[in-house]
């Protein structure tokens, strides 16, 4: 920690995150680390000294593990995956494969919600399928819709849970154009009506492709990669299938599926995943 402060040439930082809190074993490193000492205790010393203002965590884990960190009451914000097209995690599980219940839990506990990768893991919106773009137009481009749907979350979510921040990964200045325009357009009431219209069209497309009953229940009883003998993420595979059928997101599904290949061989068997 001291080396980091020295290299950053800072007296304090506003936001500190524990990155990649994905497993039960990561929770134990923070809070139940025995004689080795808890990692969270070190950061807490810096908070008390005024050198860290706010503590959060980022995660790509399953919803049940994320919930453990939220209910610890040790964090002020979380960076997680949650998007219109699904709350991608490499391991899957949760309602519709995602984090809606955790977003609502953060609202209950007055935690900030920071969305990871809304344009890439949120549907590859910078290079949408033709079908997805046709469903969004003429009202909005997919990136504009993806951004604004998140920013308006409090207005269309049944629990009125807000999304506070989204991140835009950019490789060149022009990559910021669409997100900035989306933010400016959000001020207009007509734009907000368009978001509702596009959402309805996209939901209708899913119903047409897979049926309403399947759309609302497909995830029930499906195991994630921790619940199968060969670490097969069945819930993640079915989620990708739905996106292909409804929106033609073949390239996006291919990228998501590539994360699942060789799952078991990537695991560190010395760690607890349950």
The CA distance from 112 to 55, in Å, is: 11
Question: In the structure encoding, which two tokens stand for residue 69, read together?
Answer: 């960190």
Whether 180 contacts 151, CB under 8 Å = no
Largest distance between two CA atoms of the chain? 61
What tokens were used for 57? 């965590």
Q: How is residue 21 written in tokens?
A: 């809190």
Tokens of 31: 């809070």
Per the prediction, the chain carries an average pLDDT of 91
pLDDT digits (tens, 9 = 90+) for 140-164: 999 999 999 999 999 999 999 999 9
- Does the structure show a pLDDT above 70 at 269? no
Instruction: For 225-269, give the DSSP string.
Output: GGGSTT---HHHHHHHHHHHHHH--HHHHHHHHHTTTTHHHH--T
Q: Give tens-digit pLDDT for 60-103.
A: 888 889 999 999 999 999 999 999 998 866 566 666 657 899 99
Separation of CA 1 from chain center:
27
């Amino acid at each position: 920690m001291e080396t980091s402060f020295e290299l950053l040439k800072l007296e304090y930082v506003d936001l500190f995150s524990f990155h990649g809190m994905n497993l039960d074993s990561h929770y134990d490193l923070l809070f139940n680390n025995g004689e080795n000492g808890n990692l969270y205790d070190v950061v807490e010393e810096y908070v008390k000294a005024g050198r860290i203002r706010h503590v959060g965590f980022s995660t790509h884990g399953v919803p049940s593990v994320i919930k453990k960190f939220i209910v610890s009451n040790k964090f002020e914000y979380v960076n997680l995956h949650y998007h219109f097209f699904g709350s991608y995690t490499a391991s899957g599980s949760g309602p519709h494969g995602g984090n809606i219940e955790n977003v609502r839990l953060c609202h209950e506990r007055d935690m900030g919600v920071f969305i990871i990768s809304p344009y890439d893991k949120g549907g590859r919106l910078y290079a949408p399928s033709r079908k997805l773009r046709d469903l969004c137009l003429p009202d909005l481009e997919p990136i504009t819709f993806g951004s604004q749907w998140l920013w308006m979350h409090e207005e269309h979510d049944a629990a009125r849970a807000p999304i506070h921040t989204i991140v835009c990964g950019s490789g060149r200045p022009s990559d910021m154009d669409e997100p900035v325009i989306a933010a400016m357009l959000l001020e207009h009431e007509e734009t907000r009506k368009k978001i509702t219209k596009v959402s309805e069209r996209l939901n209708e497309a899913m119903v047409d492709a897979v049926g309403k009953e399947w759309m609302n229940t497909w995830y029930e009883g499906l195991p994630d990669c921790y619940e199968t003998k060969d670490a097969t993420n069945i819930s993640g595979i079915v989620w990708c299938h739905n996106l292909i059928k409804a929106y033609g997101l073949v390239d996006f599904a291919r990228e998501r599926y590539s994360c699942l290949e060789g799952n078991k061989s990537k695991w560190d068997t010395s760690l607890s995943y349950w």
